[in-house]
Amino acid sequence: MSESQRSPGKGPAGRYSSEAHDVVVTVDDILQKAVRVGASDVHFEPTSSEMLVKYRLDGVLNVAEKLPKSLSDNVIARLKVLGDLLTYRNDIPQEGRIGLIGEQKGNILDQRLAVFPTIHGQRAVVRLFYEDTGLNDLEALGFSAGICSALKQIARQNQGVLLLTGPAGSGKSTTLGALLRHIVRLFPGKSIVSLEDPVERHIDGITQVQITPHGEMTFATALRSLLRQDPQVLMIGEIRDAETAHIVCQAGLTGHLLMSTLHSGTPAAALIRLLEMGIEPYQLNSSVTAVVNQRLARRLCPNCKNLKADEKTYESVGCAECFQTGFKGRVLMAEMVQIDGDLRQAILAKSDLDQMETILKNRGHMTMRQDGMRLVNEGITTREEVESACGVR
């Protein structure tokens, strides 16, 4: 295997010398290789002795290259030029976009650059956004049949709020995009507007609005004005504050179907957070239809996965197809809570998290970990991956 094809994280990492490679060629090679292996992010991390280049593959960082310390400043400067940033400012964070070059065209939608100063020099991260048409349809995301059916029913409603929870990188934006496309296909005449920070993928049939970070047009400001634009369906990238939460819940009561994301660990925790933001229990019960909590686990490489001794589950091995990681791609696992019955009573009583979790357990709620074990039993992923994604160690 050539050095340019060496597995990230396996064996000695590749090295470039300042004499053998021009910095321009080095940076271009690193970015193009990242596209070839399907990395979602490229990290340029300075240390006291060298610069580490890491690729995030299926959610996990792997060391891909080690650059000499003498190249660090020039590599960051080259990235700044590509991202149209200020090359003479090394003391402030900067963000920009890198234009697509060479074989990247047609493979990815966008490259975002973020530079940040550290004690060892400037650190940079390039995020890659791929065109993955296979995830445009709701049925293709990997939800269980029950959750997929429930989401389709919600998509037909004329009002209410659907919340998605999960950490960054758990596929929430992908799910929202698929839901919007589903609604466009079902009701091509509906007025649909999305507020996003930033707009990651363009969707035909939808008015997409980009919220400028730290600008005057916040989610709350834009949402308040948009309600006077006669929308029927609204997608809000994230509920970040109490003001936005109040407007979202009010809109969900007045003939609007809203979808948004909220950072919380479980569906019950999302409901508690809304109550803590000052949403009245009766408003929460009347506006929020359901909460979906989701995570992504690494998918076993179909080329090298090995049946365990129990002949029931599989384990990861590693091969050239998966760059010796044993995994290739990721798979969705999720749980869904619909607001009804005894859960409404718990919300009215402002029950705490433990009480709500007990109610869900007693009514046979299918947890995300249980959904993940379904994937384990089907030979799609491993128990260790499910527990890692769920936060169980």
The C-alpha atoms of residue 286 and residue 193 are separated, in whole angstroms, by 22
Lowest model confidence (mean pLDDT) among 12-21, 289-298, 339-348, 353-362: 12-21
Q: How many angstroms separate the most distant Cα atoms in the chain?
A: 71
pLDDT computed for residue 292 by the predictor: 98
Q: What is the average per-residue pLDDT within 35-58?
A: 94
The C-alpha atoms of residue 239 and residue 53 are separated, in whole angstroms, by 34
pLDDT, tens only, 225-238? 989 899 999 999 99
CA angle 294, 135, 193 (to 5 degrees): 80
Strands (E), the chain: 14-15, 41-46, 50-57, 60-68, 94-97, 108-118, 121-130, 160-165, 192-196, 207-210, 233-236, 257-262, 288-300, 306-307, 314-315, 327-338
Grade residue 59 by pLDDT with cuts at 50, 70 and 90: confident
Q: Are 346 and 368 in contact (CB under 8 A)?
A: no
pLDDT, tens only, 8-46? 444 334 444 444 458 999 999 999 999 888 899 999 999
Indicate the residue type of 73.
Answer: D
pTM for the full model? 0.81
Alpha-carbon distance values, 310 to 239, 314, 315 (Å): 45, 9, 11
pLDDT, tens only, 145-183? 999 999 999 999 999 999 999 998 899 999 999 999 999
- 239: pLDDT strictly greater than 90: yes
The pairing of strands 257-262 and 160-165 is parallel
pLDDT computed for residue 10 by the predictor: 40
The C-alpha atoms of residue 162 and residue 176 are separated, in whole angstroms, by 10
The DSSP 8-state label assigned to residue 4 in this structure reads: G
- 205: pLDDT strictly greater than 80: yes
pLDDT computed for residue 360 by the predictor: 94
